[in-house]
Amino acid sequence: MNKKIPFSPPDITQAEIDAVVEVLKSGWITSGPKTAEFEIKLAEYLETSKAVALNSATAGLELVLKVFDIKEGDEVITTPYTYTATASICLHRGIKPTFVDVKKDTFLIDIDKLAEAITPKTKAIYTVDIAGVPVDYDAVRAILKAKNREDIIFVSDSSHSFGAKYKGKRVGGQADFHIFSFHAVKNFTTAEGGALSFGNNNFKGREDLYKEFKLASLHGQSKDALSKMKAGAWQYDIVTDGYKCNLTDMASAIGLVQLARYEEMLVKRKAIFDIYSKYLGEKDWAILPFEKEGDTVTSYHLYLLRVKDFNEEQRAEVIKILADKDIATNVHFIPLPMFTLYKNLGYKIEDYPNAYAQYANEISVPLYSLLTLEDAEYVVKELIKAVEQVRG
């Protein structure tokens, strides 16, 4: 009988369950004291000044466009090698995103091509930290400075890189804004959820940017629910056409416990990553994923293995062999121009050859803090057998 290895189950303990029960019994379950505490602790962990807790990373990505009034007629640059959320938030605002291919043999946006894509209409750049690997934020800053375009808002879709380090400092304050995902399959989860972090609360001359983001996440309402509940405090104003994407106290309670456990969880993920690299490093057909360069370190979110000279059909065969043994694998990501939505908008994968080359032979191997080292060894041995069977 095969061992059953899921791809990415959430790491939830009794402590998270107890924290949610406590909130349920408190009488306050939506955004309230736990969310306020979670935001403070998040900012501390991310080594930056502000964090806004939201119901998804997608909400954070779009809130930046909303708060800075980036809309139809403006240009936003991003990468085709990402999940659709990074680009679809532009479409919601009437903007057709400008895609810049990834650098050859990497999953990250090509900084040189990024420089060439900037036009007078460019208002924002959304880079993407794939698998937990930080983009070279300083290189992006240098491009903006060299082109005298430091007016462009630099956003990092850091959905994968919570806990990663860039040049020795945790990811969270290097770009103008970082957006994190706390979805169920992420290293750190609140079931659904996300956060927006930043260092300058007066960015672009704003009086209180944190307050603006909070307003925009709560229908533009001048008082949140907690404030309105105070006796006699029923009156409020609507000051902008905001969204409804706040995080609940139940989710924040989970997040607070996860935050206390998170460094230990990262240690476990690194140990699994190391086992995979130890075995795969002996194979000349294996292209290992990024782990560390100087003081820049991944968050060990995904193990993105690439197999030399493999095509999509061979990759699919390996995935099926492993699935038949109850080992779940995945692919990250199908480049956006390969999807119907983006094809219909005129994008062609042929225009992004590096992204296609990264995708065509990539297999994401199970990597999560509940996976035992014994099971990780089992997974990588079965993976090697499957690849070598298909290679012939």
- Please give the radius of gyration of the chain, using alpha carbons only, rounded to the nearest integer: 21
Measured distance CA(238)–CA(236) in Å, rounded: 7
Calculated CA dihedral for residues 247, 46, 256, 196, nearest 10 degrees = 0
Annotation marks residue 348 as catalytic: no
Helix 14-26 vs helix 249-280: crossing angle, to nearest 10: 170
For 98-103, the CB contacts below 8 A with 24+ separation are 98/122, 99/336, 99/337, 99/347, 99/351, 99/352, 101/351, 101/352, 101/353, 101/354, 101/355, 102/352, 102/354, 102/355, 102/358, 103/354
Nearest alpha carbon to residue 160 among 137, 127, 115, 206: 127
Question: How many other CB atoms are found less than 10 A from the CB of residue 231?
Answer: 5
Strand partners, 307: 286
From residue 90, alpha-carbon distances to 58, 78, 119, 272, 294 in Å are 11, 10, 17, 36, 34
Q: Rounded to an integer, what distance in angstroms lies between the CA atom of residue 130 and that of residue 247?
A: 24
How many angstroms separate the Cα of 222 from the Cα of each of 65, 67, 89, 213?
20, 15, 25, 12
The residue type of 174 is Q
Catalytic, out of 165, 186, 214, 268: 186
| Residue entry with tokens 């699919």 | 316
Question: Exposed/middle/buried for 219, CB within 10 Å: 0-12, 13-18, 19+?
Answer: middle
* Interatomic CA distance for residues 43 and 150, integer angstroms: 24
List the one residue out of 211, 367, 344 whose CA is nearest residue 274.
367
Consecutive H or E run containing 272: helix 249-280
Q: Which amino acid type is present at position 185?
A: V
The catalytic residues are 186
